[in-house]
Amino acid sequence: MELRLDGKRAIVTGGSRGIGKGIAKAFAQAGAQVVIVSRKPETLQEAAAEIGHDCHWIAANVGDYESAASTVEAAVERMGGLDILVNNAAANPYAGPMIDVDLPRWEKTIQVNVTAPLMWTQLAWRRTMNQHGGSVINIGSVGALKTSRILGVYGMTKAALVYQTEQLAAELAPTVRVNTILPGLIKTDFARVLWEGERGDEVAKLYPMKRLGEPDDIATAAVYLASDAASWITGQRLVVDGGGTINFAEG
């Protein structure tokens, strides 16, 4: 079955690189109109040209309410509506034990990873989705499912995003579906420190599928969740991790 998004209109935050760009490209290839959002105009322009299919871009601070509100308004005006919102933008400014995190980086991580998805979903709901329906897809992480020696703050925000997904799915049904994708380690610049060089090869051996993920792996899942084929799926978390979370325990 070919999954199509013809006639649908989408916003993808953090859409200029990595997973976000992969999702935007897959949406466009499936027939959707797409607006990608991030901070840097030059990076957005390059990404939009690579995505093609008349992809639009808007430079905005994802974590700022006024910037988000004007972006949603501009995107709706440009596309004539909004059917899909992908909350992909994320921040991970701190690595280390949670007990040692400084409050500015703690607050930054929560603002981008938890508050911003709620804010963008509120804006999309109030502007058009409450009347016309739609699909919201939050991009989380398998870090939401377990503790970590160095990424506990990031994982905590992604666990909060899972709960936010379930809560909003219950509140916005049946008009809007809300789901989250939990990627494993994906080969992006955002996660480069975790996979570059020999370290990536060693990590890949721990995955039952014996490779690390690519942005296309997440993009395909996002197309499915955004499509009419997933019309009875809401409030769910879809783990896309090459089997990492079900690998055999040592011994």
pLDDT at res. 190 = 74
Q: Give the model confidence (pLDDT) of 159-205 as tens digits.
A: 999 999 999 999 999 999 999 999 999 988 777 666 576 777 888 88
From 94, 154, 207, 224, active-site residue = 154
Output the CA–CA distances (angstroms, integers) from residue 246 to 63, 180, 241, in the order listed.
Answer: 34, 19, 9
Burial of 10 (0-12, 13-18, 19+ CB in 10 A): buried
Pairing between β-strand 237-240 and β-strand 84-87 as defined by DSSP bridges: unpaired
Q: Give the model confidence (pLDDT) of 57-73 as tens digits.
A: 999 999 999 999 999 99
| 154 in catalytic set | yes
| Separation CA 151–CA 96 (nearest Å) | 6
Q: Give the model confidence (pLDDT) of 88-141 as tens digits.
A: 999 999 999 999 999 999 999 999 999 999 999 999 999 999 999 999 999 999
Find where tokens 């993009």 sit.
Answer: 219
Closest alpha carbon to 11 in 113, 107, 79: 79
Residue 93, SS3 per DSSP: coil
Fold of 9-187+215-239: Rossmann fold (3.40.50)
Domain boundaries, the chain: 9-187+215-239
Find where tokens 């709960």 sit.
Answer: 163
- DSSP state at residue 213: B
Cite the beta strand spans of 4-151 per DSSP E. Answer: 9-13, 33-38, 56-59, 84-87, 134-139
pLDDT at res. 194 = 66
Residue 210, SS3 per DSSP: coil
